[in-house]
Amino acid sequence: MKKKILIILSIVIAILVIGGGIFKIRYDKMVKVFREERIETVDLQQIEDGVYTGSFGDFLLLVTLDVTVSFNRITDIDILEQRCGPGYDASETVDLILEAQSPCVDAVSGATSSSRCIMIAVYKALSNSSMME
């Protein structure tokens, strides 16, 4: 009986170690993706009025949003879908972007990756607009 318990315990521990290793590798890859993605200023004078959808994410974090541009200004950012940890939605980032009129803002402390996710999605929405060249 003790031998069966030791075998089962060994299998459970092995599964946990392997699963933890896979999670760590995947998490490190996500962090690298977030660090390497560029966020640049966007010339709002080149963007027609409209609503532009942007999305960015990897593994644990994802955001899809609509950016509304009117009279060469970002007037609204509507988060359509967001995947992040509880309390890490970095919703303040939207206000910072609207105030700065640029996706290049400081990340919200305590939710840096979620902030970058929002900034990158806004940048992608605006840089993929039909008027950008």
What contacts 24+ positions apart, CB below 8 Å, involve 77-81? 77/118, 77/122, 79/118, 80/53
Q: Mean pLDDT over residues 83-90, rounded?
A: 86
35 in any annotated domain: no
70 band by pLDDT with thresholds 50, 70 and 90:
very high
110 in any annotated domain: yes
118 in any annotated domain: yes
Backbone Cα Rg of the chain: 20
Convert the pLDDT of each residue in 103-117 to its tens digit: 999 888 777 888 999
Q: Mean pLDDT over residues 26-38, rounded?
A: 86
Helix (H, G, I), strand (E, B) or coil at 84: coil
Which CATH number fits the domain that encloses residue 76? Answer: 3.90.1010.20
| Total tally of structural domains belonging to the chain | 1
Q: pTM above 0.75?
A: yes
Range of the domain at 111: 44-127
15 in any annotated domain: no
96 in any annotated domain: yes
9 in any annotated domain: no
34 in any annotated domain: no
Give the lowest-confidence range in 12-16, 57-61, 70-74.
57-61
Averaged confidence pLDDT in the chain: 90
Convert the pLDDT of each residue in 72-81 to its tens digit: 999 999 999 9
48 band by pLDDT with thresholds 50, 70 and 90:
very high
Q: Which of 36, 63, 67 minimizes the C-alpha distance to 118? A: 63
10 in any annotated domain: no
